[in-house]
Amino acid sequence: MRTYLDHNATSPLRPAVKAAMLAAMEIGGNASSIHAEGRAAHKLMDDAREKLAFWLGCLPQMIAFTSGGTEANNMALRGVAVDRLLVSAIEHPSVMAAARASGKKVEIIPVDQFGRVEMAALEKLLVGGRALVSVMMANNETGVIQPISEIAGLVHAAGSLLHVDAVQGVGKRQVNFGLLGVDLLTVAAHKVGGPTGIGALIIRDGLVVEPLLHGGGQELRRRAGTENLINIAGFAALADVPQLDANDVNNRLEASLEGATIFSGGAARLGNTTCFAIRGLSAETLLMKYDLEGIAVSSGSACSSGKVGPSHVLQAMGVAPDLARSAIRISSGWNTTETDIQHFISITQKFRARASAKAA
């Protein structure tokens, strides 16, 4: 039996999403072609864009489809005409790397011990002139949620722009572009049961974003290349599925972790995410042990190479290095069962008993 608790990395494809993608595969045309097949493809894409716009609280023409969250983040940070970027210290690597590659001045916004943006520090940084501020809606490691509307008010009062990476928020909490009051919003499908390889950058009307990719005139000339019609259909299908509600699941999980450190435990977090550490048990060792017991979880400090390295998120929160090296992330999803929860709890209790016996 396998227990999958790594939905913040990628969540398995939902049946309704798969059905929508299979239906889209029957349409063989290019959405840029004017013949009947092309018009059918264009209609499917327009319908999907309208459905997503209604779900995400924006106008259809504000949505520029991309290959995923990474491309959308790069498009935002590299494509807006500002000289400065203010980036929170806990951003996803795709934001950090895009900022460094932009050629613009990059300044880091500090966070508190829970991983929340220090508002007073942000206010001081904004005095330096017009900037693009990038703050994620919810952290991929700890699940901590930022007060985006409050940040938007502060940023706009200073005459600056706000970009929000909402990849971890989509499908787990309300994501409404208009209500948030942001200028740019990154979204993607695969964290809540949508397909990988599809995302979007939502761009406020009137804001110019230079394209990363040049070629045809797709996406109102903001992103060249033939649109990924099948994945777009799958993305739009997420608008019809219930919002993930995993609070009960996580409460039971966290109740079983007595004595462990739960990072950002005193702050508002995504209901599906727990990042914890047990002193004396390294993340690298635990990941292998969990996998051998049939459980897929992640290290809070996993990097793109698949190896465990220091987490910049936990470092920014002031977590001691030895404790940070023990960080494990559990993230439940749409198909998590009671059996999965009990499996994780029993195996974790076994590991802790062994560690206690060894210490004695």
Of 48, 43, 32, 76, the closest CA to residue 202 belongs to 76
Domain with 66 in it: what CATH number? 3.40.640.10
Has residue 343 been placed in a domain? yes
Q: With bands split at pLDDT 50, 70 and 90, how would you rate the model's confidence at 305?
A: very low
63 and 208 housed in the same domain: yes
Please give the residue that has the higher pLDDT: either 170 or 309: 170
State which residues form the domain around 276.
3-11+243-359
Beta strand pairing call for 3-4 and 295-296: parallel
Has residue 216 been placed in a domain? yes
Of 322, 44, 71, 300, the closest CA to residue 199 belongs to 71
Q: With bands split at pLDDT 50, 70 and 90, how would you rate the model's confidence at 359?
A: low
202 and 265 housed in the same domain: no
Has residue 43 been placed in a domain? no
Chain centroid to CA 5: 16
- Picking from 240, 268, 293, the residue at the C-terminal end of a domain is 240
Which pLDDT tens digit goes with each residue over 283-298? Answer: 999 999 999 999 999 9
- Picking from 240, 272, 295, the residue at the C-terminal end of a domain is 240
Which pLDDT tens digit goes with each residue over 191-218? Answer: 999 999 999 999 999 999 999 999 998 9
Q: Residue 301: is its pLDDT beyond 60?
A: no
Q: Is the pTM of this model over 0.85?
A: yes
222 and 290 housed in the same domain: no
Of 212, 275, 220, the closest CA to residue 80 belongs to 212
186 and 286 housed in the same domain: no
Has residue 253 been placed in a domain? yes
Which pLDDT tens digit goes with each residue over 244-254? Answer: 999 888 889 99
For the chain, give the percent of residues with pLDDT over 70: 96
Q: Residue 303: is its pLDDT beyond 70?
A: no
187 and 58 housed in the same domain: yes
From 25, 179, 288, 303, active-site residue: 303
Which pLDDT tens digit goes with each residue over 137-195? Answer: 999 999 999 999 999 999 999 999 999 999 999 999 999 999 999 999 999 999 999 99
- Picking from 192, 214, 240, the residue at the C-terminal end of a domain is 240
**Average per-residue pLDDT for the chain:** 94
65 and 172 housed in the same domain: yes
193 and 265 housed in the same domain: no
**Number of domains making up the chain:** 2
263 and 309 housed in the same domain: yes
Q: With bands split at pLDDT 50, 70 and 90, how would you rate the model's confidence at 306?
A: low
Domain with 344 in it: what CATH number? 3.90.1150.10
159 and 203 housed in the same domain: yes
CA dist 290 and 340 (Å) reads: 13
Token pair for 224 = 């060249």
83 and 160 housed in the same domain: yes
Has residue 45 been placed in a domain? no
Has residue 210 been placed in a domain? yes
208 and 221 housed in the same domain: yes
- Average pLDDT on 18-33 reads 94
pLDDT score for 128 = 86
- Average pLDDT on 32-55 reads 95
30 and 109 housed in the same domain: yes
Residue 58 designated active-site: no
Distance of CA 304 to CAs 152, 174, 284, 301, 312, Å?
A: 31, 29, 15, 10, 13
